[in-house]
Amino acid sequence: MVPHAEHFGDEASRQDAAHMGMWIFLATEVLLFAALFAAYSLYRLAYPEVFSQAREHMDLALGTINTYVLVSSSVLVALAIASIRKGRDLAAGVLLAGAVLLGITFLCIKGMEYAHHAKDKALPGAHYAYDKFAVPGASLYFTLYWIMTGIHAVHVTVGIGVLSVLCGQALSGKFSAAYHTPVELGGMYWHLVDIVWLFLWPLLYLA
């Protein structure tokens, strides 16, 4: 049985309000990452050669694998939403579980990258001591790298938590073809996390 709050009107009105709230929240997230991308662009203008050479010190293979992992997870979430709209809650739960596993895989691969950078002492700020890339501006690049990917990783972690809860609720039969707004909202958040990475990947590994 779907919980109702009468002062919010009918179910359609509640769904519209929930989606509007999520869009506003996502807009604030976009502003956050837009500020980070703007900072990266400004410093890249200041150190164009250094930022261009920095990609040679990134693990393109792991970054690319992670891109496929995260895009695949978004596909599973989209399929989960399509399934729950048809009332197939079990299929939706299984698909969400797959997305959660892929999200965890993303974090594990990212952790491997972080370990490599830490071993090379390509650390942020005053901790930077990577002797193979000891040029002015290099520490700034890796500082931005750690901040941008670190904040993104936090968002991935939050998304995994959200999808895990939704997965459990779907498998327990909480959602139906008539009521599945939380799944749609969780999917919107996860797609944003995916889109942000699709900007980070070429910026940090390819450009």
pLDDT in tens, the chain (207 residues): 445 555 557 778 888 899 999 999 999 999 999 999 999 999 999 999 999 999 889 999 999 999 999 999 999 999 999 999 999 999 999 999 999 999 999 999 999 999 999 999 999 989 999 989 989 999 999 999 999 999 999 999 999 999 999 999 999 999 999 899 999 999 999 999 999 999 999 999 997
* pLDDT confidence of residue 97: 98
CB atoms within 10 A of CB 204: 20
* pLDDT confidence of residue 105: 98
* pLDDT confidence of residue 16: 87
* pLDDT confidence of residue 7: 59
Sorted by where each starts, the structural domains of the chain and their CATH numbers stand as 11-206 (1.20.120.80)
∠ CA 169-175-177, rounded to 5°: 155
What is the DSSP-derived secondary structure letter of residue 86? T
In which region does residue 5 sit, left (phi positive, over 0), alpha (psi from -120 to 50) or beta (all else)?
beta
pTM of the full structure:
0.90
